[in-house]
Amino acid sequence: MSLHIYDTASRSMREFHPQVNGTASIYVCGATVQGVPHIGHVRSGLNFDVLRRWLARDGAEVTLVRNVTDIDDKILTKAAEHDKPWWAWAYKHELAFEDAYNALGCLPPTYAPRATGHVTQMVELMQRLIDKGHAYDVDGDVYFDVRSFPEYGALSGRKLDDQQQGETEVRGKRDPRDFTLWKAAKPGEPSWPTPWGNGRPGWHLECSAMATTYLGGTFDIHGGGLDLIFPHHENEQAQSRAAGDGFANYWMHNYWVTMSGEKMAKSLGNTVSIPAMLKLVRAQELRYYLVSPHYRSHIEYSEEALQEAVTSYARIESFLRRVAERVGQIQLRGDMCPDFVVAMDNDLNTPQAVAALHNKVRQGNTALADGDHDKAREAAECVRRMADILGVDPLSPKWNDQSSADLGMRQALTTLVDRLLVERQEARKSRDFARSDALRDQLLEAGIAVEDTPDGPQWTLKDD
């Protein structure tokens, strides 16, 4: 069986055939860098990292582009609230996202383009659309004419008459459903020159320009979160195909991380930031928790489920270390068991793949108990190979500097610090600023720096 993936556009499972044999081209919508990343943000990066590893397992050349949206209404608002330049606010949080992806073992993207670096390509795309009668300008704004493109709605399955863009700005629109390609400059906002006047890009335009710049007019896979299907991806596809590009041959969408049944989002106040999570569990354990469910299933976050994942991961780690103690170094070269391969080829069915991995762990433990070290080594090599595809190989150099003992000390420290931070927050609420400052100073003397952020107080060791 070859890889089959669920294609959102056709609403069906399709066998994956790349445009060029031995290669794969993937564009993933990355972060709008407005704040600290949470586990809902990074799930997409992890899911498509697993896809990339699976496609590359036999030597295929995979090009993965994950963009950075570094200019946006939310970024401008957040920067203004904190009296920071918009570019400084965006770059600070771009680095935070990079740290989160790196900490969780995501392979670096082949390219990570920023929206602000591709205005020239956006202008060219808008000109093509205007020349073909699919876009128009009004007083410096440029809009896409949805009625000019009969295929509009094909990706999301929505009928045009039932749609609205949700945009509040409607200056000069021919139809309220037309979406913005370019926003005319406002006083005090950043802007770039175009033939239609100074302004800044619309969200949808940037991804079409960057995807085709790095992957060509037609490429293999476009990915992103479920919430992006409409309007973002619908608009991307419409503007790209209207301009004459084939754009994505397959569309893949990962589902959300939820709390209490709601999508995790800063606006709802139900986020769990990556820095906070990594004070509770090791990065490889958090990654295991997030990649084990199927990418097309929701994850309902709970501490109990997270701890179950930690326990499950420990079984893999314990087995491999026990084998290594008895037979020496375990090579990353084993064949993957057939059940694992079938599961991964079936739309990246990671729950079944993880089950196959644990079944091999059980077989290896039985071999160890029977004293059959050759069979135990063979099982361990197989386990390493499968775990590496998921990015959670316990013997990888990536994870070797994070021992359970170190984590235990970190968890104890976290418990103590968090108690002091709760006390400090209570003091601040009661306007006992002397007590609040004293607690902060005590932590600082102990080598712990505290920063008050929109996501609550964040602490770090001064030598981290």
Indicate if 383 and 416 belong to the same structural domain: no
Q: Residue 214: how many CA atoms within 13 Å on its side-chain side?
A: 26
What pLDDT, on the 0 to 100 scale, is given for residue 100? 97
Question: Which residues in the chain land under pLDDT 50?
Answer: 168, 404-405, 407, 455, 464
The CATH number covering residue 68 comes to 3.40.50.620
Question: Reduced to 3 states, what is the DSSP secondary structure of residue 139?
Answer: coil
Indicate if 179 and 261 belong to the same structural domain: yes
What pLDDT, on the 0 to 100 scale, is given for residue 99? 97
Q: At what angle do helices 86-103 and 39-55 cross, to 10 degrees?
A: 50
Beta strand pairing call for 23-28 and 199-201: unpaired
Indicate if 379 and 415 belong to the same structural domain: no
Q: Which of 330, 363, 390 finishes a domain?
A: 390
What is the count of structural domains for the chain?
Answer: 3
Indicate if 172 and 259 belong to the same structural domain: yes
Q: Which of 390, 422, 450 finishes a domain?
A: 390
DSSP 425: H
Could you tell me how far CA 180 lies from the centroid of its own chain? 25
What pLDDT, on the 0 to 100 scale, is given for residue 447? 81
Q: CB under 8 Å to 247, separation ≥6 — which residues?
A: 208, 211, 212, 217, 218, 219, 222, 236, 237, 240, 241
Q: Model confidence over 379-436: pLDDT tens digits? A: 999 999 999 999 999 999 999 765 544 545 555 676 677 678 778 888 888 888 888 8
Indicate if 183 and 93 belong to the same structural domain: yes
Indicate if 146 and 24 belong to the same structural domain: yes
What pLDDT, on the 0 to 100 scale, is given for residue 455? 45
Indicate if 351 and 434 belong to the same structural domain: no
What pLDDT, on the 0 to 100 scale, is given for residue 460? 66
Q: Which residues are annotated as a binding site for Zn(2+)?
A: 29, 207, 232, 236
The domain of 454 spans 404-461
Indicate if 312 and 420 belong to the same structural domain: no
Q: Which residues are annotated as a binding site?
A: 29, 207, 232, 236, 266
Does residue 296 form part of some domain? no
What pLDDT, on the 0 to 100 scale, is given for residue 464? 46
Q: CB under 8 Å to 301, separation ≥6 — which residues?
A: 39, 257, 258, 259, 264, 272
Indicate if 198 and 252 belong to the same structural domain: yes
Read off the tokens for 178.
Answer: 């037309």
Q: Which residues are annotated as a binding site for ATP?
A: 266
Does residue 248 form part of some domain? yes
| Pairwise CA distance, residues 456 & 462, whole Å | 19
